[in-house]
Copies of this chain bind each other. A is one copy, B any other.
């Protein structure tokens, strides 16, 4: 770890180069201008900003406010540094699509480099995927007798979340949303319908599964005969939890209560 307060440009460039070489993270606070050129272009004049360069080749330039960086570059960039006209220039070039971020610093308040030890796994509890898992594990969440045939099924250009048949032999097409389902969700489902046919003498039943419906969509849904089945993340998680417990119990039974091996 290196911490420099108000380093000279040469000193800063030296540490910066060493750190980038070693794939370390660098944070700087500097008075700078930033310009971007690529898919579009941008410019911002002089100001003090926090600059973060990571070992995987991404860049963040943050102002004193706002969640979003004012300029950035995603992972995979090649860095160059050089001193020119009394300024420290840092270029981050992304090869594809070709994009260039250029930071020109004339006064560096502060520079530090770190090697962050972090092997932890990130666990996100629940999203659409959890709802899908719950439906696959327990189709009765939607309705009794539903059998799931496929999921993430490819139709024309897109993917049906869950695809199955109901107890009457009708085709069931489910679009899952974790947030209140709006017009976009309905449109998506309607689009899929064009490419799906029911069995002989049967119907296709499009169903939106979501915690609730946005306000304007009811008329369209009625017109298109789309059904709505409320399901929350909460409920999905509970279902999966229960399922896991009963699976464990079943496993115990199979193994005669012996503790299972660890992988």
Name the one of B25, B29, B33, B65 contacting A114, with C-beta atoms under 8 angstroms: B29
Please tell me if A110 contacts chain B, counting CB pairs below 8 Å: yes
Residues A64 and B70 in contact, CB atoms below 8 Å apart: no
CA of A33 to CA of B49, assembled, Å? 27
Q: How far is the CB of A163 from chain B (nearest CB, A)?
A: 21
Interface bin, chain A? 35 or more
Q: Which of A53-61, A169-177, A202-210, A249-257 sits within the interface?
A: A53-61
Residues A50 and B52 in contact, CB atoms below 8 Å apart: yes
Taking CB as reference atom, which chain B residue is nearest A59? B67
Please tell me if A63 contacts chain B, counting CB pairs below 8 Å: yes
Please tell me if A124 contacts chain B, counting CB pairs below 8 Å: yes
Per-position binary interface string of chain A over residues 5-36, scored 1 when its CB falls under 8 Å from any chain B CB and 0 otherwise? 10000000000000000000101010001000
Please tell me if A155 contacts chain B, counting CB pairs below 8 Å: no
Residues A157 and B216 in contact, CB atoms below 8 Å apart: yes
Name the one of B42, B49, B112 contacting A118, with C-beta atoms under 8 angstroms: B49
CA of A235 to CA of B160, assembled, Å? 40
Please tell me if A123 contacts chain B, counting CB pairs below 8 Å: yes
Residues A123 and B216 in contact, CB atoms below 8 Å apart: no
Q: How far is the CB of A13 from chain B (nearest CB, A)?
A: 20
Q: How far is the CB of A183 from chain B (nearest CB, A)?
A: 7
Residues B54 and A66 in contact, CB atoms below 8 Å apart: yes
CA of A222 to CA of B65, assembled, Å? 48
Residues A48 and B121 in contact, CB atoms below 8 Å apart: no
Specify which chain B residues have a CB less than 8 angstroms from the CB of A75 in the assembled complex: 65-67
Residues B62 and A123 in contact, CB atoms below 8 Å apart: no
12 A-B pairs (CB sep. < 8 Å): A1-B109, A40-B124, A40-B178, A41-B126, A42-B122, A44-B120, A47-B120, A50-B114, A50-B116, A60-B62, A63-B116, A110-B112
Besides A58-B65, A67-B74, A67-B75, 4 other A-B contacts (C-beta < 8 A): A1-B109, A40-B178, A40-B233, A44-B120
- A-B pairs with lowest CB-CB distance, top 9: A47-B118, A40-B126, A45-B120, A64-B116, A56-B65, A48-B116, A41-B125, A47-B120, A58-B67
